[in-house]
Amino acid sequence: MYIHTEDLIKIKSTPEEKLPVLKGMKELESCYFHNFNCQVFLFRGVPPKGLQDPTLRYVCQQYHGKPRFLTLFDPIDHIPIYSAYIFQKSDGLKTMDAPWMFEPQLSSILETAEMQPFVQGYHHQLLHRTQAVLEDYANAVDFERGQLNPDEHHNSPDDKAATYSLTNVVPEASGQHSVWSHDMARWQASPGSANTLVVSLLLPRLRSQRAV
């Protein structure tokens, strides 16, 4: 999925929580990886180059005791920049009952590295400092939740469920998913596509280039 942020309806950001700054390979190897190996989702374990904004965060997205994919995340604009994952052959269908989840690694409200479902009475203001929340997409008409790492690219129930973190979502123009689905169907039909390393990228302008 290739989308430019100028074509998106931006999610309103709030003052960011103070977080460690990740600048390169050393931080990728040490911060927020715990005992998990999220470098397996990158070709030769090396992240894409050219994204120099120091506010971006690596998040090793974990679910049910296992790393599922790697996200480079913008905690100021509350959107992922890219998702790195392993493509799996599947039936191409979406999961219908997976709950939307938030990422505790971007907040201090829970001492866990695993994504968690939103629940009634959750700490909305604390979460919204660094990531999107359910209200950002409530009653949306012109846009919907677009997954950088699509559910349809996985066959394991847990891998599919893990794609329903809002840290894996960008505002996508309504109806655009049908175009993305067509591309996914071609991938599923390709004989050499199984276990392919994928980086699904949002094309942003660096924050230093944005109008003040």
Reported as a single tens digit per residue, the pLDDT across 28-50 is: 544 444 445 888 999 988 888 87
Output the CA torsion 35→41→42→43 (10° steps).
120
| pLDDT at 181 (0 to 100) | 61
Q: Which domains does the chain have, with CATH numbers?
A: 3-209 (3.40.570)
Radius of gyration of the chain, Cα coordinates, nearest whole angstrom? 16
Model pLDDT, residue 86? 93
pLDDT of 71 reads 94
Q: In the predicted model, what is the mean pLDDT of residues 94-119?
A: 85
* pLDDT in the model for residue 167: 95
Which pLDDT band holds residue 6 (cuts at 50, 70, 90)? very low
Going by their DSSP bridges, the two strands 3-4 and 197-203 should be labelled as parallel
Confidence of residue 5 (pLDDT cuts 50, 70, 90): very low
- Answering whether pTM is above 0.75, one says yes
Whether 89 has a pLDDT exceeding 70, the answer reads yes
3 state SS of 91? coil
Residue 176 has pLDDT above 50, yes or no: yes
- Higher-pLDDT residue of 139, 28: 139
As a dihedral over the C-alpha atoms of residue 23, residue 36, residue 48, residue 198, rounded to 10 degrees, the angle is: -160
- DSSP letter (8 states) at residue 163: T
Mean pLDDT of the 153-160 span: 92
